[in-house]
A and B are shown apart, each in its own frame.
Chain A
Amino acid sequence: MKYFLYFCKLAISIGSIFLFMRNVFIIILLSVCYAGVGRVDGQELPEKNAVVSLSDSAVEALYAEGKGLFLQKEYARAAEVFSKMISLNASLATAYNDRGSCYRMLGAYERAAADYSSAIMYRPCAIYYCNRGSIRVKMDDYEGAVSDYSLAHALDSTYYLALNNRGIVYLNMGAYRRAVEDFSACIRLNPSNHLLYNNRGIAYYKLKEFEKSISDFDTAISLNADYGNAYLHRGNLKEMLDDDAGACEDWSHASVLGVRQAENCLKNCRN
């Protein structure tokens, strides 16, 4: 028995060395990716500088047209324009990303995800990973989304959108402490964004840290007094704390600001 235990310990030691080596390998791989050269989705990446350029005037014109159509919410026509760009330059990451966004707005999530993957393949950058993460959320692939947002953050630690979106995925997964960490990091990067305080307030609510939660909703309201969702949430929190009058007041305020979810809550006040 004693020798068996020694054997186990030895096996575990070897296993941990293997795991350590694997980690080292991953770190090397990430370092290489960060440098912009490596393998993504099984394909060899072309050189970064060769694919980013929009130097071709025809392509540039198409890009301006596609972007204009997108902003006018003409998503199907915009997608056609971005397709033309791709036909002129098949490795143009921007065109894939923007066409993916058109598909996303049209509800074609599979095609959007494929286009975002192509964009990442030709130019791995935080925006593309972030966009693919959002699509993965819509496709209920939360783990995939977390992975994309994490890579986006690894590529650009100042890109707060990735952290905010990952926080929201954690919120949906029930990993509230991690959500708080992500929102807090976002707030450090962008301390005047009321949406981030609102999001962190929800995570604190879920953790039953009600004082912190109400403080965040208060801050969100002080940063933007017209942001109805913060009133809705503060109302939810007050009801939980048995302050029914305060809850009804906040829900009422949210309703006036056009938050439709507050209407249902107000029914409880009328009862």
Chain B
Amino acid sequence: MRKFLFLLFFQAFVCGLFAQNVDFVQTNFPNKTKSEFKKALKNKKMGEKTMKAEDYRRAVNFLLRANEFNPKNAELNFEIANCYEHLNQIPEAVHYAEIAYTLDSLVAPELVYYKGYAHQMRYEYDDAVKYYKRYLITPGITREGNLKAQQRIKECRNGKLLVRRGEIPCKIYILDTNVNGKCDEYGPAVTADDSLLFFTTRRSMKKNPNKGFASDGKYYEKIFRSSKDSSWDKAHWALGTNLRGHFAVQGVSNDGSRVLLYKEKRGGDLYEAKLHGKKFGAAKRLPRAVNTKFHETSASYSYDGNTIFYCSDRTDMGYGGHDIYKVTKNDKGKWKNVTNLGNVLNTPEDEVTVFAHPDGKTMYFSSRGHDGIGGFDIFVSTYENGQWSKPRNIGVPINTPGDDISFVITANGKSAYYASAQPTGFGEEDIYCISFKTDKVFVSTTEDNLLDDEEEDPFTEEAEVKEKAMPAHQMTLLTGLVRDKLTKEPLSASIELIDLDSNRKIGDFETNEATGKFLMSLPAGHHYKIKVTSPGYHSHEETFDIPESSGFQTKELLIELESDGTQMPEGLQNIEFDFDKSSIQGSEAARRLDKVADFMKRHPDVKVLITGHTDSKGSDEYNMALSERRVKTAVDYLVEKGIERSRMTTKGYGERRPIDTNETDEGRQHNRRVEFTIVK
């Protein structure tokens, strides 16, 4: 009985100790001035007023100021939590709700729900379920609240199952300040070889096409890119210095030559921009088959570049909310034929942020409608035998009780990127990298006294906690360089990829104009042929057999094309001269002329027109004479190298045919030249 009384007293004492709600009454703040109290009260009232007007961003600012004055008011803490929930800042919402609960658990019935959510966020699923169940029997609970709590209970059950299935061994780290800044960074898109990262940022820039702020009070969206050697270098404008309004990156082709963009126009539309050399061209809106009056967003190219997977909330073909669609190219290379990917992937809830892996059969996306553990979770599905498999939750710790979206993974499956707003970040949303590790096992040891005898040594038994790595993607990442065999200059070439098993052309790819490099992904289990062509060169063909069991591998190709004698090879179209000079001794021009001679010897039927040019400095007559002297120098050099003079015709143009501006040193340097052209 004494024990019982003690317990009763203890419980009463504990209740008294923690019930510390401090009302907004001036007598409760003897150390504060009257004006301070009035100001805090005014902030609270303003916060409540703006909250009613659903301006939660402003409301929370007022309420936080009031909270600085009196952090121990349950109602105020609950109001702050409420605002944060509407702003989708769930960790903050839970934090303030827990404070409110501690101060006075009866101030609002929703606090029990929040208490459950706090446990859910900490992966304490059993405790979370207890609070949700308590919330469900709260008198006066709304239908919306009821559904929300039921959904949370389901999430907790899924969470328990996922934890038992084992975590994914990985290390998550934030990208440094070369990528992240104080403002939002989100929507990462990475090339298949993990060498180029595109992302959207809301940072301030000096050179900004958009004046002022967007409607949410932040700077307009712009697209940045960073490239990686050993680490990500300082990010800079990727494209869009001339783009007005919001432009956000949604997806990038495997080789980084094309990007998909989102613009908040006509309800939200998708655009595409192509890389020409080192610069992206203008963004073009995808056709109306894709862009409806509804919200089109989040897009990803297929491995062959012939399909775009994207999300839309269009109502004519959907299953509810945002669904995943695909659009394919027709024979003329136009984007046509939009299809909903079906109800195995799509649910009545939202499916967003789709990512098609370069292996050609795996898709990652976020959904609220499948078996998740809270908010949006990332799911994976594979396309086999003509259908998508049932989406599988990729598990913890990648998925969390909050929203998990914008997940992109590299071709080798070793790294993935996503954006998240964490208190430990650089500010607002930041881009994080997940580095996947190998399978792991942890062995813990349980101990029991099996027989009723504590004197015996305990019986020990080992229990394993396993961490299972992400499945390897079976594909080959083919990277290569196409260049001229003679000059070693990179070539702009077209590459046709053919599946020899079905004798079907998979797609057309192009090398980068400036670098001659290409990258393509080849799903395992096929026999491939590539055909490389470039105007003025003999074509080149190569075959590859990539068995199903090959796993992930990389293959590098160096393709050297030989001129067919119809055009001067890349790099031999001209030679340049110093100002007012016609001599070439020991210069780069001489080395090129050696190669021109070499080329003409290999192609004895080729005849060449050699034309001389100058910049605009000096008189016309002087420049005409100078251009002719330059031509003569080139011809004499080639004759000396054994080329018959009869194979060359010459002409001096003076300053009449510039190929660049004469306003800059660099432009004038380009204009001081001798050109070689093959004549029939």
Which A residues lie at the B interface, using CB under 8 A? 4, 7-9, 11-13, 15-16, 20, 23-24, 27-28, 31, 67, 70, 93-94, 97-98, 101, 104-105, 119, 127-128, 130-131, 134, 137, 143, 146, 161, 164-165, 168, 171-178, 195, 198-199, 202, 205-206, 229, 232-233, 236, 239-242, 259, 261, 264-265, 268
A34 to B464 alpha-carbon distance, docked (Å): 34
Which B residues lie at the A interface, using CB under 8 A? 3-4, 7-8, 11, 105-106, 109, 122-126, 138-140, 159-160, 163-164, 167, 169, 171, 396, 437-454, 458, 460-465
- Tell whether, in the assembled complex, residue A168 and residue B446 are in contact, meaning their CB atoms are under 8 Å apart: yes
> What are the nearest 6 A-B pairs in CB distance?
A174-B163, A101-B450, A11-B139, A261-B441, A94-B452, A195-B445
Q: Kindly report which residue of chain A lies nearest to residue B171, judged by CB atoms.
A: A240
Instruction: Please give, as numbers and ranges, the residues of chain A lying within 8 Å of B465 by CB-CB distance.
Output: 171-172, 202, 206
How far in angstroms is the closest Cβ of chain B from A31? 5
Q: Kindly report which residue of chain A lies nearest to residue B127, judged by CB atoms.
A: A175
- Tell whether, in the assembled complex, residue B7 and residue A164 are in contact, meaning their CB atoms are under 8 Å apart: no
- Tell whether, in the assembled complex, residue B463 and residue A9 are in contact, meaning their CB atoms are under 8 Å apart: no
- Tell whether, in the assembled complex, residue A11 and residue B140 are in contact, meaning their CB atoms are under 8 Å apart: yes
Contact of A199 among B160, B444, B451 (CB under 8 A): B444
- Tell whether, in the assembled complex, residue A198 and residue B452 are in contact, meaning their CB atoms are under 8 Å apart: no
- Tell whether, in the assembled complex, residue A131 and residue B450 are in contact, meaning their CB atoms are under 8 Å apart: yes
A174 to B169 alpha-carbon distance, docked (Å): 14
Contact of A229 among B445, B449, B451, B458 (CB under 8 A): B445
- Tell whether, in the assembled complex, residue A174 and residue B106 are in contact, meaning their CB atoms are under 8 Å apart: no
Instruction: Please give, as numbers and ranges, the residues of chain B lying within 8 Å of A12 by CB-CB distance.
Output: 106, 109, 138-139
- Tell whether, in the assembled complex, residue B439 and residue A264 are in contact, meaning their CB atoms are under 8 Å apart: yes
Instruction: Please give, as numbers and ranges, the residues of chain B lying within 8 Å of A105 by CB-CB distance.
Output: 450
- A198 touching B445 in the complex, CB below 8 Å, given contacts A11-B140, A171-B465, A173-B125: yes
A–B Cβ pairs within 8 angstroms, 8 of them: A9-B106, A27-B7, A67-B453, A131-B448, A175-B123, A195-B445, A202-B444, A261-B464
Instruction: Please give, as numbers and ranges, the residues of chain A lying within 8 Å of B109 by CB-CB distance.
Output: 8, 12
- Tell whether, in the assembled complex, residue B442 and residue A202 are in contact, meaning their CB atoms are under 8 Å apart: yes
- A161 touching B163 in the complex, CB below 8 Å, given contacts A9-B106, A11-B140, A23-B11: no
Q: Kindly report which residue of chain A lies nearest to residue B169, judged by CB atoms.
A: A240
How far in angstroms is the closest Cβ of chain B from A248? 11
- Tell whether, in the assembled complex, residue A268 and residue B448 are in contact, meaning their CB atoms are under 8 Å apart: no
- Tell whether, in the assembled complex, residue B450 and residue A195 are in contact, meaning their CB atoms are under 8 Å apart: no
Contact of B126 among A15, A143, A205 (CB under 8 A): A143
Contact of A164 among B11, B164, B443, B447 (CB under 8 A): B447
Contact of A177 among B122, B396, B464 (CB under 8 A): B122
Instruction: Please give, as numbers and ranges, the residues of chain A lying within 8 Å of B123 by CB-CB distance.
Output: 174-176
How far in angstroms is the closest Cβ of chain A from B254? 25
A168 to B3 alpha-carbon distance, docked (Å): 32
- Tell whether, in the assembled complex, residue A98 and residue B3 are in contact, meaning their CB atoms are under 8 Å apart: no
| Interface contacts beyond A15-B138, A137-B446, A174-B163: sample of 11 additional A-B pairs, CB < 8 Å, sorted by A | A4-B140, A12-B106, A31-B3, A98-B452, A172-B465, A173-B164, A232-B442, A233-B443, A239-B437, A261-B443, A264-B441
Instruction: Please give, as numbers and ranges, the residues of chain A lying within 8 Å of B464 by CB-CB distance.
Output: 261
- Tell whether, in the assembled complex, residue A31 and residue B4 are in contact, meaning their CB atoms are under 8 Å apart: yes
- Tell whether, in the assembled complex, residue A268 and residue B140 are in contact, meaning their CB atoms are under 8 Å apart: no
How far in angstroms is the closest Cβ of chain B from A172? 6
Instruction: Please give, as numbers and ranges, the residues of chain B lying within 8 Å of A176 by CB-CB distance.
Output: 123
- Tell whether, in the assembled complex, residue A174 and residue B445 are in contact, meaning their CB atoms are under 8 Å apart: no
A236 to B458 alpha-carbon distance, docked (Å): 28
- Tell whether, in the assembled complex, residue B122 and residue A134 are in contact, meaning their CB atoms are under 8 Å apart: no
Q: Kindly report which residue of chain A lies nearest to residue B112, judged by CB atoms.
A: A12
A229 to B464 alpha-carbon distance, docked (Å): 11
Instruction: Please give, as numbers and ranges, the residues of chain B lying within 8 Å of A137 by CB-CB distance.
Output: 446, 463
- A236 touching B442 in the complex, CB below 8 Å, given contacts A31-B4, A177-B122: yes
A25 to B511 alpha-carbon distance, docked (Å): 78
- Tell whether, in the assembled complex, residue A98 and residue B451 are in contact, meaning their CB atoms are under 8 Å apart: yes
Contact of B438 among A28, A174, A265 (CB under 8 A): A265
- Tell whether, in the assembled complex, residue A104 and residue B444 are in contact, meaning their CB atoms are under 8 Å apart: no
